[in-house]
Amino acid sequence: MEKELKVSAIKDGTVIDHIPAQNLFKVISLLGLENISNQITFGTNLESHKLGRKSIIKVADKFFADDEINKIALVAPEAKLNIIRNYEVVEKRAVEVPNEIIGYVRCFNPKCVTNHQPITTRFYLVNKHPLSLRCHYCEKETTEEHLVIL
């Protein structure tokens, strides 16, 4: 039994748990958390049985839409969303890699037009495990080990 929470409980909002520790700042950036004025607390390098080291983010008074939150599935596939209302966990949700990934992944192909002109990148999900995304423009596949988040 844990004696205390490592990061304080919140009254209302969203707790994003089970983020791989090394991807905390990618998740913050994908969700645009730098740009909102809600209270945000986070912890990193916390012990986790599943992940070894995990991060957790708590965003007060924020409830994410599915397409917003599913962006993080590429860097935190095991993430669990806990929706908090009046201090109680009222819902738990998993994240899912979307079928179309628009605007936040770099194409692995150096010759791809998206690497030379200001064009929004666009990929189709080919495979989840291991991750593989096909570029809409050059049709080359970008895989897990070459994944770069813009």
How many other C-beta atoms lie within 10 A of the C-beta of residue 16?
Answer: 25
Is there binding between residue 36 and ligand CTP (CB under 6 A)? no
Segment 48 to 77, residues that bind ligand CTP, using CB under 6 A = 56, 58
Beta strands 122-127 and 100-102, pairing class: antiparallel
Q: What does 5 interact with, of ligand CTP, Zn ion, none (CB < 5 to 8 A by kind)?
A: ligand CTP
Closer residue to Zn ion (CB): 110 or 130: 110
> If you count them, how many residues does the chain have?
150
Sign of CA dihedral 47, 51, 56, 62: negative
Is there binding between residue 10 and ligand CTP (CB under 6 A)? yes
| Contact assessment for residue 14 and residue 76, using Cβ atoms and an 8 Å cutoff | no
Selected range binding ligand CTP among 3-11, 23-31, 93-101, 129-137, rule: CB under 6 A: 3-11
Segment 115 to 134, residues that bind ligand CTP, using CB under 6 A = none
